[in-house]
Amino acid sequence: MNIFRFLGDLSHLVSIWLLLHKMTTSKSCTGISFKTQALYALVFATRYLDLLYGSWHSMYNVAMKIFFIGSSLYILYLIKVPFKPTRDPAIDTFKLEYLVGGALIMSLIANYEYSFPEILWSFSIWLEAVAILPQLFIIQRTGEAENITTHYVAALGAYRGLYIPNWLYRYFAEGFFDPIAVIAGIIQTVIYLDFFYIYFTKVLKGQKFELP
Amino acid sequence: EKTPGQHDEL
């Protein structure tokens, strides 16, 4: 564990807290992509159910995995049950087939072993790389976003961004290099760049997130 | 070299 990875994981926790805070205080899920949230639940289920076959690295690791699986299911429940009337499915129209299909193909091409757990792990890595796209698509379509929603996306992007110095650190300090996680992680971070540009130039200067 | 099943990152 190094500082970049720890701050990244912390940022991931903050993002989930921001999302729950937005939904429970406004009692709505307006502007939130159910599809992105469903993809994250699938990412966590396919990556973290390795707990079931004994992949226990540390208490930290196990507790985080359980938290991410549990909170993602709770978020799906909130969107689908109590806040269902506030969701507008007509703007959440990104085609999931392409993302899931692409991740499936990538997991068969790029994995460390042709075994069920390894292909599942690789699938979750590639799927996570693109899971934010339906959410960014909603922001692009509506041309604006509530500030709290942009803070949520920014915290998620920061989590991914911080994993890059973590990999550099691990490569030089531990000789650890995981090419699949690194390549998918860089793709994932690049997807956030446009968003971050507007977030830094507008939202952090007190303006509303609006596309030009 | 990456060993399968040793994914310690989240």
Complex ipTM, two decimals? 0.85
Q: How many residue pairs from chains A and B have C-beta atoms closer than 8 A?
A: 34
pLDDT of residue A55: 78
Rounded Cα distance between A22 and A111, Å, is 37
Polymer length in residues for chain B: 10
**pLDDT tens digits for A5-35?**
999 999 999 999 999 999 999 999 999 999 9
pLDDT of residue A97: 97
Distances from the Cα of A144 to the Cα of A30, A55, A135, A171, angstroms: 12, 42, 12, 39
Q: Which helix (H) or strand (E) holds A141?
A: helix A133-142
B10 has a chain A CB within 8 A of its CB? yes
Residues A17, A95 contacting (CB under 8 angstroms): no
Q: Minimal Cα–Cα distance from B9 to chain A, Å?
A: 8
Rounded Cα distance between A82 and A84, Å, is 6
3-state secondary structure of A177: coil
Contacting A residues, span 52-111, partner chain B, CB-CB under 8 Å: 55, 57-58, 61, 64-65, 68
**Buried (b) or exposed (e) across A91-115, using 16+ Cβ within 10 A?**
bbebebeebbeebeebbeeebbeee
Tell me the one-letter amino acid at A177. F
Rounded Cα distance between A47 and A107, Å, is 12
**pLDDT tens digits for A175-193?**
999 999 999 999 999 999 9
pLDDT < 50 regions, chain A: none
